[in-house]
Amino acid sequence: MKKIFKILISSILLKAFYDVFNENKFVKDQIDRLKEEITNLEMSDIDQKIKDFQNKIDGFKNKNQDSPE
């Protein structure tokens, strides 16, 4: 009877540890997806800032070319 009880307790503990590790893997996957999403957002923001800067430079160049010297 004691062996059955020990096996039962062992299997419950093993299942609990498995669930914890499985949950950690799920959390790690979510963190990785969020990192990728943040990187993509940062890249799109940087691209937009570069485009805005280029438009400012182009506008500045056009004003300098139009002004008589």
6 versus 41: the higher-pLDDT residue is 6
Segment among 10-24, 29-43, 54-68 with least mean pLDDT = 54-68
Grade residue 12 by pLDDT with cuts at 50, 70 and 90: very high
DSSP-assigned states of every residue in 5-67: HHHHHHHHHHHHHHHHHHHHHHHHHHHHHHHHHHHHHHHHHHHHHHHHHHHHHHHHHHHHHHS
Q: What average pLDDT does this structure show over 20-42?
A: 86
- Whose tokens are 């799920």? That residue is 26
Instruction: Report the pLDDT value the prediction gives residue 20, as an integer from 0 to 100.
Output: 81
